[in-house]
Each structure stands twice: as structure tokens, then as C-alpha cells.
Amino acid sequence: MQSFSDIPKICLGVFMAMGLAQPASAFNAINNHRVNPVPGTAQFEVIGRPGSGPLEYWCAAAEYARLELGQPTRAQVMMVSPRGPSVTSGYRSAVVFQLDPAGTAPPARGRAIR
């Protein structure tokens, strides 16, 4: 029988295993959305959380572009694919983005994440 003193050790093991399940290059945005680079491309994917809406995806994408990729706040981020199954993990809800280096992306107004 397990004693109550073992619970912290068990919890620590579970949390460590959860951390190891993330890709080494995963980025966690301030809104707790994980952002993964899409291997072999210049794209990145924002992993959804329960109740995530378009604002949460766009905010995580912008934060990743600014903090991880070193882009200025005026850099254009464009959605490559709408909400759907993740291409970098087993999650059901993710959106793929990329930077628009030419700055030719139309304004984000009117773009929907379904």
C-alpha cells in the first residue's frame, strides 16, 4: 500500500513525463498555447486548448514570431491552414501560421479560424 508521503514523488514523475512529451523546440505562449515549428518548413503551429478562439491562436502566433523568431511587432503573420488536426502532435485542434517576409499578406480582418 502506498503512503501519502509517496504522492509528491508520483506527481513529480508524472509532471516530468508530461514535460518530456513536448518537442524540444516547443514554445509556450503567455496564454498557455503551445507553439511548435513545423519540421522542414518555415511554418509553425499553434496547438489549441479547450475553448480556444481565434484571438488566442493569433496572439500565440504573434508572440512566437516576436519572441522566438526575433521579428518586430509589425511583422506580418499569415494563417496557412485553418483549425484542424495538428501536424506536429496528436492534438485535434491546431492552426498553422507562417511569417510573410514580403509583407504582402492582407490584413487579418475577416480571416476566420474555423
Residue ranges of domains in the chain: 25-114
Which residues are CB-neighbours of 13 under 8 A, at least 6 positions away?
A: none
pTM of the model: 0.70
In tens, the pLDDT along 76-106 reads 999 999 999 999 999 999 999 999 877 665 5
User: Which among 39, 59, 65, 32 has a CA at the least distance from the CA of 113?
Assistant: 59
Pair 46, 35: CB distance under 8 Å: yes
The C-alpha cell of 111 is what? 480571416
